[in-house]
């Protein structure tokens, strides 16, 4: 029980520290872009994300405080039990000492032994004297041990109470930050709603552009799959790559590292998650995100998340360069680069820099769009990337 609680507390503390670091990253990126005139959409996304992280931090901290409360209650009960036990032990020990003293006055040990009827009785009496002496010593040791345990439990209790006070104080500050973010979010949304129809048109245009890029990528992936299957003498309409023995090993290693892959940038926060979701500004519209959008700092480099081969470098009309890296029958796709450091067909290694992420000169934002797919079916990067 105690071990399970300690493990749970360690897990919660680890998660709390992760969330605190995430807030630091968000604040650092905000400070970096403070002088730029940023779009309402990017500001709303920032608010939504920070509100989400702050809410999670409050939730985790409350869980820690509740767990500490249970531990404190358990220790308080244990202290009460120890005190009662010690009181009884000391009373029994005192009675035993008094009895021993009276017995010593009435008759010495030597007389007790000499008055034995025979050697066997004398031997048994000697054993009794020794056992009685050992028992007294044992009782004294138990009292010492229980006293030490009581002192240690008291110290532990005081530390737990202090930790709980610290957590509650920190949570109050986080709650204030959350309320401030929510107030600013509401204020911005009130301003945006005045021109909602204009934003709706802009949103739909961006979605059409994103869908166009995704269709182009899908075409290229399908063509690559057909080519690999034709080369292997298989059906051209297959939904997955025909793999060589080497590629099978690579795909297997890629799968084995699910949840442990490094981030595609050294430092960043997820601005937009994977999947179909409500638009942060116009709730009547939905966004279909085939990957994640990661906000990072100016000059940030995109990195290969695993060993593989550059299968394609896309340069579409009015679109920043896109790099596709193949890992057996899996692909990782890195969109919105300003420069590319690799060539098609080049072998790359984990964390190798493959290009620089584009920084929008008008608002100072540096956003990498990152996708993982198996064949042409996309998968949630948050399930693959370590602590995304």
pLDDT tens digits, residue range 99-158?
Answer: 666 555 445 555 555 566 676 776 676 676 667 666 667 777 777 887 888 788 888 888
Encode pLDDT of 202-239 as tens digits: 778 888 888 889 999 999 999 889 888 888 777 666 77
Q: Within 13 Å, how many C-alpha atoms sit on residue 387's CB side?
A: 10
**Is residue 188 predicted with pLDDT exceeding 70?**
yes
Q: Which two tokens stand for residue 387?
A: 């602590």
Among the listed ranges 29-33, 36-40, 197-201, 220-224, which one has the minimum average pLDDT value? 36-40
Q: How far apart are CA 26 and CA 253, in angstroms?
A: 33
Q: Which two tokens stand for residue 240?
A: 């997955």
SS3 track for the chain: CHHHHHHHHHHHHHHHHHHHHHHHHHHHHHHHCCCCCCCHHHHHHHHHHHHHHHHHHHHHHHHHHHHHHHHHHHHHHHHHHHHHHHHHHHHHHHHHHHHHHHHHHHCCHHHHHHCCCCHHHHHHHHHHHHHHHHHHHHHHHHHHHHHHHHHHHHHHHHHHHHHHHHHHHHHHHHHHHHHHHHHHHHHHHHHHHCCHHHHHHHHHHHHHHHHHHHHHHHHHHHHHHHHHHHHCCCCCCCCCCCCCHHHHHHHHHHHHCCCCECCCCCCEEEEECCEEEECCCCCCCEEEECCEEEEECCCCEEECCCCEEEEEEECCCCCCCEEEEEECCEEEEEECEEEECCCCCCEECCCCEEEEECECCCCCCEEEEEEEEECCEEECHHHCECCC
* 275 against 189, higher pLDDT: 275
* 385 against 360, higher pLDDT: 385
pLDDT recorded at residue 380 = 97
Name the segment(s) of the chain with CATH classification 2.70.70.10.
206-383
How many other C-beta atoms lie within 10 A of the C-beta of residue 209?
Answer: 12
User: Do residues 18 and 59 make contact, with C-beta atoms less than 8 angstroms apart?
Assistant: no
Q: What is the mean pLDDT of the chain?
A: 84
3-7, 76-80, 202-206: which is most confident: 76-80
Q: How far apart are CA 326 and CA 310, in angstroms?
A: 6
pLDDT recorded at residue 35 = 58
pLDDT recorded at residue 123 = 65
Among the listed ranges 58-62, 306-310, 353-357, which one has the minimum average pLDDT value? 58-62
How far out from the chain centre does Cα 355 lie? 28
CATH topology of domain 2-193: Helix Hairpins (1.10.287)
CATH 2.70.70.10 fits 206-383, yes or no: yes
pLDDT recorded at residue 106 = 45
**Is residue 23 predicted with pLDDT exceeding 90?**
no
Name the segment(s) of the chain with CATH classification 1.10.287.
2-193
β partners of residue 293: 272, 369
pLDDT recorded at residue 86 = 78
Q: Which two tokens stand for residue 115?
A: 């008055």
Q: Backbone dihedral region of 326: left (phi > 0), alpha (psi from -120 to 50 degrees) or beta?
A: beta
Mean pLDDT over 163-182 rounds to 90
Q: How far apart are CA 27 and CA 224, in angstroms?
A: 42
42-56, 149-163, 220-234, 299-313: which is most confident: 299-313
What percentage of the chain carries pLDDT values higher than 90? 32
* 190 against 109, higher pLDDT: 190
Among the listed ranges 52-61, 161-170, 182-191, 197-206, which one has the minimum average pLDDT value? 197-206
């Amino acid at each position: 029980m105690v071990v399970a609680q300690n493990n749970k507390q360690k897990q919660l503390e680890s998660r709390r520290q992760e969330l605190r670091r995430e807030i630091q990253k968000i604040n650092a990126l905000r400070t970096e872009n403070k002088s730029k005139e940023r779009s309402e959409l990017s500001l709303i996304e920032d608010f939504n994300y920070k509100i989400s992280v702050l809410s999670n931090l409050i939730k985790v901290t409350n869980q820690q405080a509740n767990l500490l409360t249970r531990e404190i209650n358990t220790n308080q009960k244990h202290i009460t039990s120890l005190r009662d036990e010690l009181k009884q032990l000391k009373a029994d020990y005192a009675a035993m000492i008094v009895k021993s003293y009276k017995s010593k006055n009435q008759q010495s040990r030597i007389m007790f032994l000499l008055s034995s009827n025979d050697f066997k009785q004398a031997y048994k009496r000697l054993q009794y004297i020794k056992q009685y002496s050992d028992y007294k010593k044992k009782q004294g040791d138990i009292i010492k041990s229980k006293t030490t345990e009581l002192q240690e439990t008291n110290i532990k209790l005081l530390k737990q109470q202090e930790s709980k006070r610290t957590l509650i104080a920190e949570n109050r500050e986080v709650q204030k930050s959350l309320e401030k973010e929510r107030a600013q979010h509401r204020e911005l949304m009130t301003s945006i709603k005045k021109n909602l129809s204009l934003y709706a048109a802009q949103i739909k245009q961006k979605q059409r552009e994103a869908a166009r890029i995704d269709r182009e990528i899908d075409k290229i992936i399908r063509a690559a799959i057909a080519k690999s299957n034709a080369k292997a003498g298989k059906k051209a309409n297959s939904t997955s790559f025909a793999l060589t023995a080497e590629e099978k090993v690579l795909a297997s290693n890629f799968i084995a590292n699910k949840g442990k892959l490094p981030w595609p940038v050294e430092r960043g926060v997820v601005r937009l998650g994977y999947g179909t979701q409500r638009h942060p500004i116009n709730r009547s519209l939905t966004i279909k995100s085939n990957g994640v959008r990661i906000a990072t700092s100016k000059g940030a480099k995109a990195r290969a998340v695993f060993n593989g081969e550059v299968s394609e470098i896309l340069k579409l009309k009015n679109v920043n360069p896109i790099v596709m890296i193949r890992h057996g029958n899996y692909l990782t796709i890195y969109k919105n680069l300003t420069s590319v450091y690799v060539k098609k067909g080049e072998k790359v290694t984990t964390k190798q820099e493959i290009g620089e992420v584009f920084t929008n000169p008008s608002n100072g934002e540096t956003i990498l769009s990152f996708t993982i797919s198996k064949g042409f079916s996309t998968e949630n990067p948050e399930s693959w990337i370590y602590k995304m």
